[in-house]
């Protein structure tokens, strides 16, 4: 199966040697994505805004592989504050309410920056 690596343009991707998204055959995985903007600042002051920003970013990546939100079958959400779960789910539902992929949300101790509340991974499969 053919493998395609996709970059988000983040400087660490090239420095460290990782891709933001990898497509192998019909399978697509987007690695942990936060609300860091191209200029290095964190977008959003709360978990809702950050979740929405991350999912918008990830769906734009999926589109590069001719996929969309409807192709997503699994979402992993990591948050530094599980008490914000309702707000995270509110943003998540705007994208996936009717699609209903698998969903896992766990609390973690921290992310790279203290103002980051959410990191999300997606898995998708293109229809044959």
**Structural domain spans, the chain:** 3-125
Q: What is the pLDDT, as a whole number, of residue 9?
A: 77
Q: What is the pLDDT, as a whole number, of residue 10?
A: 77
Q: What is the pLDDT, as a whole number, of residue 11?
A: 75
| Percent helix, strand and coil across the chain, each to the nearest 5 | 35, 30, 35
The fold of 3-125 is 60s Ribosomal Protein L30; Chain: A; (3.30.1330)
Could you tell me the CA-to-CA distances from 78 to 14, 54, 119 in Å, in that order?
24, 12, 5
Q: What is the pLDDT, as a whole number, of residue 13?
A: 80
Q: What is the pLDDT, as a whole number, of residue 128?
A: 67
Question: Would you write out the chain's pLDDT as a tens digit for each of its 128 residues?
Answer: 899 999 887 777 888 888 899 999 999 999 999 999 888 899 999 999 999 999 999 999 999 999 999 999 999 999 999 999 999 999 999 999 999 999 999 999 999 999 999 999 999 999 86
* Exposure string for 5-21, b = 16+ CB within 10 A, e = fewer: ebebebeebeeeeebbb
Q: What is the pLDDT, as a whole number, of residue 39?
A: 84
Q: Shortest CA distance to 119 belongs to which of 69, 74, 80?
A: 80
Question: What's the pTM?
Answer: 0.94
């Amino acid at each position: 199966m053919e493998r395609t690596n996709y970059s988000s343009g983040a400087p660490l991707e090239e420095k460290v040697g990782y891709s933001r998204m990898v497509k192998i055959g019909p399978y697509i995985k987007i690695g942990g994505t936060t609300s860091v903007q191209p200029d290095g600042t964190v977008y959003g002051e709360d978990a809702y805004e950050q979740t929405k920003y991350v999912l918008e970013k990830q769906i734009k990546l999926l589109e590069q592989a001719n996929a969309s939100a409807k192709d997503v079958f699994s979402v992993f959400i990591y948050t530094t504050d599980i008490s914000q779960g309702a707000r995270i789910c509110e943003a998540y539902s705007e994208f996936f309410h009717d699609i209903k992929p698998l969903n896992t949300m766990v609390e973690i101790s921290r992310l790279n920056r203290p103002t980051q509340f959410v990191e999300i991974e997606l898995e998708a499969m293109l229809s044959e």
